[in-house]
Amino acid sequence: MKNIKYKTRKICCIGAGYVGGPTMAVIASHCKNISVNVVDINEKRINSWNSHSLDNLPIYEPGLKEVIKKTRNINLFFSTDIKNAISKSDMVFISVNTPTKLKGFGAGYASDLKWVEESARQVAKYSKGHTIVIEKSTLPVKTAELIKTILEAQSENKHSKGTKKSFSVLSNPEFLSEGNAIDDLENPDRVLIGGDDEYSINELEQIYRTWISKNKILRTNLWSSELSKLSANAFLAQRISSINSISAICEKTGADIKEVSKAIGLDKRIGNRFLSAGPGFGGSCFKKDILNLVYLCRYYGLKEVSDYWEQVVLLNNWQRNRISSLVVKKLFGTVSLKKIAILGFAFKANTNDVREAAAINITKDLIENGAKLLIHDPKVNSEQIETAIDLKCSDDIDNSNQGSWIFQEDFNKLFFEIDAVLVLTEWNDYKSIRWDIYSKNMRKPAWVFDTRNIIDKEKVISSGLNYWGLGDGNNFEN
């Protein structure tokens, strides 16, 4: 451990979600002399964080259990006592969710900041002395201004409960990729700290310096930090829409997207990461962040710029739609009462998160067209799917005479009398399926649709099944 120079002794994080939980656990594991309190309004979630068995943590993230094991109830605490945690802390991270607004001004584009505002009000109310407030949630540019205004209104009220309060606001965006969050926290490409108060920036920098080298810590002004986060996600998402657009051309021309990706990625200027074509990007950030950027550009009258970024989301929607309609088309133009196994519901492998997963739109489309779906995922549960697609799991799928779904945990029961398999998440478990065995149970002619290009095409074909791979110009029909 490095020579510690920070004064901060108590940290609070509002929001015990995918970002707040892992981030605070890693800080606690490196900064043993700091007490880290993670608070949340959701009691059930806090109970899961505190549950005796580490298998019941509210989120699945490789390596998380181990970090929690060595920190929980030592210098990492989870509770719902927001007031107490804030009042004791020198530093408060705001890590609450900021979903896209569903109604009102900016609906469909702007982020709903009501929880960020509420968190700022709680900090203003309960804090004591000087508090460093850190935006961790991804926020629209200029949100720090809103937080500052709320906090300053309180610091002017000097004699509230006799304590003089002061605040400084920093932006410290997260760049965690789910499924890889612990490694991203341990070995980040960079840590961004935006702000103008030297003392507070130094305090936060010193905490990260406990395990991260100085050259990876980047200081910027507040607005650059906020905008960098939105732009980084927009660039990443843009790469996915770009490669997905090329996947469609491959299918028309006989080219193969895997070969094209490899050829493009070997150019060092482009690089080989984020070039896997798929059913469209999901997750809580990409779509929301781009829509925020679109909203911001419209607000400032930059129509061409907003149209440019919006196209990334439109292409993503198109990619999902084209997959569901392709499945229907290949199954003789109708999926009514046909059984289809869905492999993977999470928005990507190694997470149990289903937010904005391509599987949501695709399964809804198929159910709407009358299909009976048997959904499998190694980490997602039935309740999550029920909420995501807003439809109850069927009691008796075999006798149902309309579009319906069940959650099938048992892999061996997935393939009976099904017409097709649709791979939507790139879980390792799906890479070595014994098609020669399972094909015997399927109703012929049967199809395997692989939207992640992880299935062994030759084995599928030699098992007497039809194969369709995303971006494969030589798709095969028996």
Distance CA 356, CA 287 (A): 8
Binding positions for ligand UDX, 376-395, rule CB under 6 A? none
If the CB atoms of residues 60 and 175 are measured against ligand UDX, the closer one turns out to be 175
- Residue from 284, 324, 350, 463 touching ligand UDX (CB under 6 A): that is 284
Work out the number of other CB atoms within 10 angstroms of the CB of residue 50. 15
If the CB atoms of residues 17 and 195 are measured against ligand UDX, the closer one turns out to be 17
If the CB atoms of residues 175 and 449 are measured against ligand UDX, the closer one turns out to be 175
On the CB side of 94, CA atoms within 13 Å amount to 29
Total residues contacting ligand UDX by CB under 6 A comes to: 42
Residue nearest to ligand UDX (CB): 17
- Residue from 32, 118, 308, 321 touching ligand UDX (CB under 6 A): that is 118
Instruction: Please confirm, yes or no, whether 229 is among the known catalytic residues.
Output: yes
If the CB atoms of residues 176 and 371 are measured against ligand UDX, the closer one turns out to be 176
The answer to the question of residue 247 lying near ligand UDX (CB under 6 A) is no
Angle between helices 222-253 and 257-265 (to 10 degrees): 140
The answer to the question of residue 138 lying near ligand UDX (CB under 6 A) is yes
12, 13, 250, 285: the catalytic one is 285
Binding positions for ligand UDX, 44-73, rule CB under 6 A? 45
The answer to the question of residue 96 lying near ligand UDX (CB under 6 A) is yes
Token pair of 318 as six digits = 């198109």
Site string for ligand UDX, 210-239 (x = CB under 6 A): -----------------------x--x---
Segment contacting ligand UDX by CB under 6 A, of 12-20, 330-338, 388-396, 436-444? 12-20
If the CB atoms of residues 86 and 335 are measured against ligand UDX, the closer one turns out to be 86
Q: Are the C-beta atoms of 78 and 49 separated by less than 8 Å?
A: yes
Distance CA 224, CA 230 (A): 10
Closest CA relative to residue 101, chosen from 114, 90, 88, 89: 114
The answer to the question of residue 178 lying near ligand UDX (CB under 6 A) is yes
Asked if omega into 445 is within 30° of 0 (cis), the reply is yes
Segment contacting ligand UDX by CB under 6 A, of 91-99, 328-336, 337-345, 465-473? 91-99
Q: Are the C-beta atoms of 408 and 435 separated by less than 8 Å?
A: no
What distance lies between CA 359 and its chain's CA centroid?
A: 14
Binding positions for ligand UDX, 320-359, rule CB under 6 A? 347-348
Segment contacting ligand UDX by CB under 6 A, of 15-23, 148-156, 204-212, 427-435? 15-23
- Residue from 4, 41, 246, 393 touching ligand UDX (CB under 6 A): that is 41
Q: Are the C-beta atoms of 372 and 338 separated by less than 8 Å?
A: yes
State in angstroms the smallest separation of the CB of 94 from ligand UDX.
8
State in angstroms the smallest separation of the CB of 410 from ligand UDX.
25
The answer to the question of residue 167 lying near ligand UDX (CB under 6 A) is no
State in angstroms the smallest separation of the CB of 406 from ligand UDX.
24
- Residue from 8, 11, 20, 212 touching ligand UDX (CB under 6 A): that is 20
State in angstroms the smallest separation of the CB of 198 from ligand UDX.
26
The torsion angles phi and psi of 256, rounded to 5 degrees, stand at -120, 120
The torsion angles phi and psi of 420, rounded to 5 degrees, stand at -160, 160
State in angstroms the smallest separation of the CB of 275 from ligand UDX.
6
Instruction: Please confirm, yes or no, whether 393 is among the known catalytic residues.
Output: no
If the CB atoms of residues 339 and 364 are measured against ligand UDX, the closer one turns out to be 364
Segment contacting ligand UDX by CB under 6 A, of 39-47, 83-91, 197-205, 380-388? 39-47
Residue 437 CA: distances (Å) to CA of 285, 388, 417: 39, 32, 13
- Residue from 6, 93, 109, 175 touching ligand UDX (CB under 6 A): that is 175
* Catalytic positions, written as ranges: 174, 229, 285
The contact set with ligand UDX (CB under 6 A) reads 14-20, 40-42, 45, 95-98, 115, 118-119, 136-138, 174-178, 233, 236, 240, 274-276, 278, 281-286, 288, 347-348
